[in-house]
Structure 1
């Protein structure tokens, strides 16, 4: 039975009031490496035409050029800033000794520089791109809180932090009275809103790659992504991709849509950040909205039996 066409869903980012499109777009690799402002405008407009309101960037993407391209493209498109959710990430800002990490100096200066490149007064979400074990967590928490207080960002989050690191940061915020004690019982049940990136594993889950075939117009053909290709195009990964392909065929959807739908169907994921260099790829990715209802628990279990990525609870002992 054919599933009726779906419309873009907007999810709250965790339990905050911020609503982000279930599918979003990220500038990693594409802006500045493969796309200029003209191309970016067509890609961004195609995303908006499909209901996307969330666009992701980072200071390190194309050494800052990705932020410049996104900002200029949005300005030329004449979009209302309030209609958009823009995020960027701070960690790798340049070659200098204070241009990297999560010190107060780099968080403040990096955020200002990102806003200048984006030509925006604020971002909606500012991420700590990686944990910084060389900076005291209290310094990072205070600096991010300062950024929020200044209105340069409305929310802050983390990227690839461990559960322990997130918990430690929360404990510091509580100790410093950056969280009102009256609401602590509510925050104890606060849910993380995940914005997952690279749902197609840089194209591996489209099925277009094999160990001896790298299309010349793909990101793995770029000189600065050869190492990523070597890590991704390994026999175990390709075997799993080939194993999932029959499930996609059975459901009547492309493998790429099945992969994105698998991410989006996770109730803990607020938005899946997709990437594309062509409008046709955007259009194909956005059709995933119609594939999400096909991922029943039985289908998800079939996929899990092949990819084996489901976290396992640790054994408990009496």
Structure 2
């Protein structure tokens, strides 16, 4: 395993982190989820990412149970706040002071810990003044309930303003968690340069494009049974990709590039993400322990310049690079 600094902070995280977005509490039973977490630990993964909204708080509980008995100082536990949880009342969502201070208590209880290493704003809250949000995060840090603050899917301007307030409040604002992979590069034009300037690192999700970059979805063939694309609760992102024959055909052309590097397709995708100097960690999930061993093998592997160039040539116009779409995942109206 490779370990990297998170942004300009002193905190080190594993280059491969374990996330339980679509597995714990939904796709995978608790016993299997625990087996996956223990496999991650055995492989050197120390960084675990979750959120209160995943499976409506159940994912946090399962992760906390799976990590029980581990040396707390040897782990980096991340969680998030924003989306509706519980009975979904008018204040059970967003980044208001009330919701943040109440949500962190619930997350700590479910995770079975006195603090999280990183507490993240799961989206930008257009319905709450940013000053209120950052002051609440500052209190969470000063109370010792979080060591660092981060965000997810914020624009470059939002990151800049959040960092300014964090400096005034003397709290460590160190990370952003965006979607990033070979096919989805929208953070490259603005978010990455701004983050490098501010000392913010990326902890990226969907490095294998929810399975599309493994090559298991083939043009002209049915979607494999049990795959994420068959999940009616799955994202629009994967459904759009698996319906695009051109994208699937281009992904198949990556196989000889992976073989030339001595990697699987999934490893190639993860290694590509980790090649970005601003990426501290790539989040992977698993429904089976053996999947993690394959993913972890990508850590520390540097792709050749020739391979990087060929990836760009092969994927061509299938790559989404439009930085203006960053932040569109943050609802303009408060969810309820």
If the length of structure 1 is used for normalisation, what is the TM-score? 0.86
Would you say 1:92 and 2:92 are equivalent positions? no
Report the CA distance between 1:251 and its aligned residue: 2.5
Which residue of the other structure, out of 208, 222, 225, is the alignment partner of 1:216?
225
Report the CA distance between 1:88 and its aligned residue: 0.5
Report the CA distance between 1:204 and its aligned residue: 0.8
Matched residue SS, 1:288:
coil
Match of 1:263 in 2: 273
Unaligned 5+ segments in structure 2 are 172-194, 324-336
What does residue range 149-298 of structure 1 map to in structure 2 within 5 Å? 149-174=142-167, 177-179=168-170, 189-210=197-218, 212-225=221-234, 227-235=236-244, 236-289=246-299, 292-293=301-302, 295-298=303-306
Report the CA distance between 1:246 and its aligned residue: 2.7
Deviations 1:186-214 (A, max 9, x none): x9954221111111111111111136422
- For the residues of structure 2 that align with 1:272 and 1:70, how far apart are their CA atoms? 18
Name which of structure 1's ranges 246-255 and 42-51 shifts more when overlaid on structure 2: 246-255
- For the residues of structure 2 that align with 1:210 and 1:226, how far apart are their CA atoms? 19
Name which of structure 1's ranges 301-310 and 19-28 shifts more when overlaid on structure 2: 301-310
Name which of structure 1's ranges 13-22 and 231-240 shifts more when overlaid on structure 2: 231-240
Which residue of the other structure, out of 35, 44, 49, is the alignment partner of 2:37?
44
On the 8 A contact 1:264/1:272 being kept in 2, the answer is yes
Distance 1:268 1:310, change over 3 A: farther
Deviations 1:221-265 (A, max 9, x none): 222116444223132432331232231133332111100110112
CA RMSD after TM alignment = 2.3
Which residue of the other structure, out of 118, 121, 125, is the alignment partner of 1:125?
118
Count of residue pairs the alignment pairs up: 295
If the length of structure 2 is used for normalisation, what is the TM-score? 0.82
- For the residues of structure 2 that align with 1:312 and 1:218, how far apart are their CA atoms? 28
- For the residues of structure 1 that align with 2:309 and 2:236, how far apart are their CA atoms? 32
Q: Name the larger-Rg structure.
A: 1
On the 8 A contact 2:160/2:198 being kept in 1, the answer is no
Deviations 1:85-126 (A, max 9, x none): 000011113221111111111111111111111121111001
